[in-house]
Amino acid sequence: MTSQKKISNIVFVCALFPCTILGCLPVATQNIARVDGGMTEVYEVSESGLGSIQKWILPERRAISRIEIYFDPIEPLKNMTVYARMGEGKWRTVKAFKTPIRKSPHIIRTPLVTDAIRIVLSSSMGSVDQLRLYGSSL
């Protein structure tokens, strides 16, 4: 490759980079807000008695793009499964974790529309202290 071609390629890349960043700016600044206002929490013991089931019920269906799970990192969450309610009695698995989660908050990015989130812990160790949901109202 000649020296002049190399220079023209470098100039092109340098000119393209700011345009790419500016083009992505509207996507990065989308209006994402907390949508968990008025949410109620229900706590249950699992059928085996070893784990727990926690449900957070929203007053209406919401579009959710991010779930933040807060817990005490001293007791990591083990064997956790996160579900979203898709209809009366119909739950969809959002994410299942087999390895311990040690960092709080743990963030799950997923697009979904739901009115309830359920977290099932199959282990007797750890519990979810707080759940925050981000997205937009429908």
Q: Could you tell me the residue ranges of all domains in the chain?
A: 1-30, 33-137
Which position has the token pair 């700016």? 25
Query: Coil, strand or helix: which one is 133?
Result: strand
Q: What is the pLDDT of residue 65?
A: 95
User: Whose CA is closest to 54, among 83, 94, 88?
Assistant: 83
> Residue 93 in contact with residue 20, Cβ under 8 Å?
no
Q: Is 131 exposed, middle or buried (0-12, 13-18, 19+ CB in 10 A)?
A: buried
83-125 pLDDT, tens per residue? 999 988 899 999 999 888 889 999 999 999 999 999 998 876 7
Highest mean pLDDT (candidates 40-44, 64-68, 70-74, 78-82): 64-68
Residue 25 has pLDDT above 50, yes or no: no
Quote the CA–CA distance of 70 and 61 in Å, as a whole number: 22
Structure tokens at 27: 């996507």
Quote the CA–CA distance of 29 and 42 in Å, as a whole number: 34
Query: Which residues share a beta bridge with 54?
Result: 43, 119
Quote the CA–CA distance of 49 and 38 in Å, as a whole number: 29
pLDDT band at 27 (very low <50, low <70, confident <90, very high): very low
CATH topology of domain 33-137: Jelly Rolls (2.60.120)
35-61 pLDDT, tens per residue? 888 889 998 876 666 778 999 999 999
User: Whose CA is closest to 58, among 44, 83, 40?
Assistant: 40
